[in-house]
Structure 1
């Protein structure tokens, strides 16, 4: 594992040369991911690694992509999507137009999962789903709606466990080793880069999902991001986080009301 002084040097150099602040990321998580990249690319000395980052912008982008990549899958945690389907979507259906933000969407599996639920509720035509991530490479993948065919069995099982009732394979076309999801889904999506560390609100949303992203941030940055979500969420809108995440210490208990055991909160006052 790389030493603390090396990690400090990396954080300072990246901020000085590129303006990106890793200082508020969970230190243990950041250290593991940097160490993995350092070992993966075969550096012998940490100063060589730092020099490469400082002088090679393409390598800097590779580092950002490697460190910020997240693991995701369609209908991950089916019980969560079951609650979305049965309790949240019927409320969203009463709105004339539905805006949903998937923050830290990675390669977009969760965005397509939400689009499928909206289609089955006959709401996709009046919905717009925004998927954002700091990692531009994964967003390019998300825009295409192409996923590995080998993952469809798991995704279908997750879908059925979330109370999906259609033939899951009707939502994509299989071609050799890939699954291309129907264009009607991507037509209702907007993918763009957004940095939760430094960027501001860009719309007002009825539902914001940011699952298993805040666990990589320290308490100060978590509070900043949750305040951003509060500013971006309409009154009576919903905020969904990961299983190990909470708004309690950042936003308190007065403005938001938690729904059941899932990490979903309803904003009850401005």
Structure 2
């Protein structure tokens, strides 16, 4: 009986927290214009409860009061809900597959338009720039790297990353099929690795919100890795629609290792170039 009561209390607590979270997200959307309402509910709850703890308040409802009166708190929550997990040559097998299956095809193009959506602080964008340079196609490529978070975009533009991460990044680079010494691409300044400015030459960093913004060009390659997993099914569908409309015929869609197109409405419009590497080619 006691166990049943505890279980019921936990269920009620979770229901209340979900209602509180929904109300807070609606407040943020209506007052500030940021729309997180269709993000994954477990992700949202986890991040909001983390912020409740950090702000030393008693509940998500108490956090909501601050949201409507304190822009600083909103910035913190916005940062919490933005997806900033990244590293250079993350998932090396993806970059290996890209070298093997995509590069031989796009080498024949007169220009290569790439959209890297959800680029965070830019580590994977610079990784792609390095790969394209090593494969001899960077000069005809243009990478549009976008993210919802303006602070992350500014960090990405600097092309400077913690020196403490370089050992792992070097390991990733070698496993991804790198052909040079990774240290050739950066110089050490203080505690940071500052990457060669030439890598930025064909990169355009800009704010773009996958939830509310529309297509802004036609692309040969769209890279959006480990972002869709944070969206609910409706928002995933909307973003897949955006990518489909933004991708040229025979263009490539590159997703994260826990993402795919097979079970989506748009699955029939793609061939699986490499299911394990999450590379898909638009055929319809």
Classify the TM-score, shorter chain.
over 0.9
Alignment correspondent of 1:165: 179
Alignment correspondent of 2:6: none
C-alpha displacement of 1:37:
1.4
Match runs of 1:56-135 below 5 Å: 56-135=70-149
1:180 partnered with 2:207: no
1:30 partnered with 2:47: no
Which of these two proteins has the greater Rg computed from alpha carbons? 2
**1:154-184: CA deviations, max 9, x gaps?**
1111111111110100000112210000001
Q: In structure 1, what is the Cα distance between the partners aligned to 2:199 and 2:51?
A: 34
C-alpha displacement of 1:187:
1.7
Alignment correspondent of 2:226: 212
TM-score normalised over the length of structure 1: 0.95
Q: In structure 2, what is the Cα distance between the partners aligned to 1:102 and 1:4?
A: 32
Unaligned runs of 5+ in 1: none
Alignment correspondent of 1:44: 58
SS in 2 for 1:22: coil
Change (3 A) 1:46 1:28: closer
1:268 partnered with 2:283: yes
C-alpha displacement of 1:253:
3.8
**1:102-140: CA deviations, max 9, x gaps?**
111111111000000111112111111111111111111
**Aligned residues between the structures:** 269
Greater mean deviation of Cα atoms: 81-90 or 26-35: 81-90
C-alpha displacement of 1:47:
3.7
User: CA contact under 8 A between 1:103 and 1:210: conserved in structure 2?
Assistant: yes
User: CA contact under 8 A between 2:24 and 2:61: conserved in structure 1?
Assistant: no
User: CA contact under 8 A between 1:256 and 1:267: conserved in structure 2?
Assistant: yes
C-alpha displacement of 1:45:
4.5
- RMSD, matched Cα: 1.5
SS in 2 for 1:132: strand
Unaligned runs of 5+ in 2: 1-13
User: CA contact under 8 A between 1:227 and 1:250: conserved in structure 2?
Assistant: no
1:141 partnered with 2:155: yes
SS in 1 for 2:36: coil
TM-score normalised over the length of structure 2: 0.91
SS in 1 for 2:280: strand
User: CA contact under 8 A between 1:147 and 1:178: conserved in structure 2?
Assistant: yes
Alignment correspondent of 2:8: none
Query: Which of 259, 262, 268 matches 1:254?
Result: 268
Query: Which of 238, 241, 250 matches 2:255?
Result: 241
1:8 partnered with 2:8: no
